[in-house]
Structure formats: C-alpha cells, structure tokens
Amino acid sequence: MEIKLLYITAAIVVLRLVAGWGLKKYKKGFAKKFFSELKEWMNAGLWAVIIALFVMSFIIQAFKIPSGSMEDTLLIGDHLFVNKFIYGIKVPFGGSRRILEFTEPGRGDLIVFKYPEDTRVDFIKRVIAKGGEEIEIVDKQVYINGEKLDETGYVVHKDPNIYPPAEYLPPQRRYRDNFGPYSVEEGEYFVMGDNRDYSSDSRMWGPLRKNKIRGKALFIYWPPSRIGLIH
C-alpha cells in the first residue's frame, strides 16, 4: 500500500508540473481556467497523498489477517488497524534506531512484524517471552522462568496429538509441543500464534528482533460483526 501511494504521489507531481506548464503556456480563456483548476486539484491531491503516506509510515497501518494462525482471537479476512508509534518511530535510513518510544512490547501484546525469513511479508503473533527470560514448552504447556504461564482466554489447541522434539518430524511439528528451555536475548521476543498447533512462529524460525516490529494491533474495523478492540 505504501509503495502504491508513492507511485500515486509521483504521478500527481508529474501532472502538477504539466498543469503548471500549461498554465504558463495558455494565458487566456478556457485553457487558462482549465489548467488553473487542474493545478489546484493536483495541489490538493498531492497534500492528501503526502498526509496519507505520513500516517501509514509513522502512525497507523491497515492489516488483513491472511491465515488461521491467530484463531480464535483473529479470523482469516479480519481487517485491523495497527499502532505504529507506540513502540517508537523508526528513523528513516537509521537502521534499527527508533525515537519517541512510549513503551516496550510486553507479554500478551499482539504485534505485526516483518517475517524474518521474507521481509516483504507481514506476520502477526503474540509476545510470549522477552529478552532476559527463559521459555520452555512441555507437552504444549508454556513455562516462563520455570513458572507455568496462564494463557486462558486466547490459546486454542486443535490437535490432540503431542509430538516429541524428534529430528524425523517435519519442522512444523518438531518443536511444536516440546521446546527448550531457551533463553531469549535482550532486544529479542519469542512470539507465538494463538492457534498454537497450526502456527509458524518462534518455535520454528527463532526469536524476533525488535527492529522487525511494525506495531501493535489495536482493533478490528471489518467486517462489521467483528468490530472491536483486540486483546
């Protein structure tokens, strides 16, 4: 979406230049009025696109749920808004540097991030463990620093089978039900889907670096029957 807006901005700038050139070339009658109105319209359109780019880059991002990995909290096709500034605004061309960090991602937060194995794709998962914590999964039950984590209200298990961490199993099952113990490093987050048995997450591809995080999920705005805050 942001790339499309950039193309639209470029097109408006070109048309505005054409309108300005036409206004100078034709000084009288219909042509003058036409190019004058076209230039005003392009100015308004340019500002609208610039504002939209600013909002989408630093404040709010629209996101559509592409898979069932967050069921039953989020369903396939849900449209939601993501708060992009709560964890800090990324400095353009500043690498992982952020400014105005209001808070850090906390356990239980639903975050949207760039998929580590393909940064063109956005994922959404729940933060389960943070830097400095040790996570272990024993027969589907999560433990943080040796204490059982209460995940009542969001986690679902749709496969009754429990798999050992065996090398002969495919990656999506090898560490699904039994994992660790694993110490999460500072600046990293261990994220998992609520649909625990059918989610590609940190159990498969490792912890998430903070610089990959795009923002925190706020609320569902579509479909109408699903409108509401996200927990």
- Residue from 125, 130, 140, 210 carrying the catalytic annotation: 125
Active site residue 125: yes
> Which is the catalytic residue, given 39, 69, 202, 212?
69
d(CA 146, CA 67): 31
Q: For the chain, give the number of residues.
A: 231
* 183 among known catalytic residues: no
CA dist 139 and 221 (Å) reads: 36
Count CA within 13 A, CB hemisphere, residue 12.
18
Strands (DSSP E) along the chain, which ranges?
A: 60-64, 79-83, 89-90, 98-99, 110-114, 122-130, 134-138, 141-144, 147-148, 179-183, 188-192, 208-209, 213-222, 228-229
CB-CB contact of 209 with 187 (8 Å):
yes
Give catalytic residue positions. 69, 125
